Amino acid sequence: MTRQKILITGASSGLGEEMARRFAAAGRDLALCARRTDRLDTLRGELVAQYPSISVAVRELDVTEHDSVVRVFGELRDELGGLDRVIVNAGLGKGAKIGTGKAHANLATAQTNFVGALSQCEASLEIFRAQDSGHLVLVSSISADRGLPGPKAAYSASKAGVAALGEALSIELARTPIRVTTLLPGFIKTDMSAGAGDDAALMASLDEGVSAMVDAIEKETTRAALPGLKWQGIDAALRFLPNSVTARFV
């Protein structure tokens, strides 16, 4: 099945922006959301100039405002004449050691990454249930496999929540026309990862990372750690090896 009408949140930069380019090149119609509308407008201009046969709708959206998520998703569905796929991608990478007086960074990350993802799932599935079809994609992280210490604690916890939500929805909707995919990317080179202190030796290029993500999305894989066998192996190690072994690596 070709999912022609695709909504992507967090589309103004990084993984979301590059996924938009890939789907546009495949001739898909796009609904792009982010807080930075100037970047969305620039991206829209680029895509419609390069691929004049597609439709690209853009909206400002803060995913921590639930009423806005529901309204914007509904507006974009109406503008495109339906939604076939929603990619829940918007996220934050802020963080500080818990208890060091910088709770605002951890709370913002948890609110955006998990509560915001839940809001997007609510809005998406209300649309998909009404039309009895759709594909929901949740962008989690390999950090969901094991709680990370220090400034990444809140981030890994928020992404674990996203992964658990995806697993729950996959089970619930398995016998329906609605598909659910959870992606667990490893280190992929973006502006956000540049400030996170991720291991450069493990870093995949944006091209490699997004290629793997789009491939898994198009196959509608239920769960995918990526890109490549390296991150599948790390995923398995973090999930199944004891803490005494994995603690030295996280």
Distance CA 204, CA 209 (A): 6
Residues of 12-26 as b/e, b for ≥16 C-beta within 10 angstroms? bbbbbbbbbbbbbee
Element (H, E) at 48: helix 37-50
User: Is-catalytic flag, 51?
Assistant: no
Element (H, E) at 227: none
Distance of CA 65 to the CA centre of its chain: 17
The catalytic position among 114, 155, 187, 231 is 155
Write down the H helix ranges in 91-226: 103-110, 116-131, 153-172, 191-194, 206-219
Q: Which two tokens stand for residue 189?
A: 């080179």
Q: Which two tokens stand for residue 153?
A: 């604690």
Residues with active-site annotation = 155
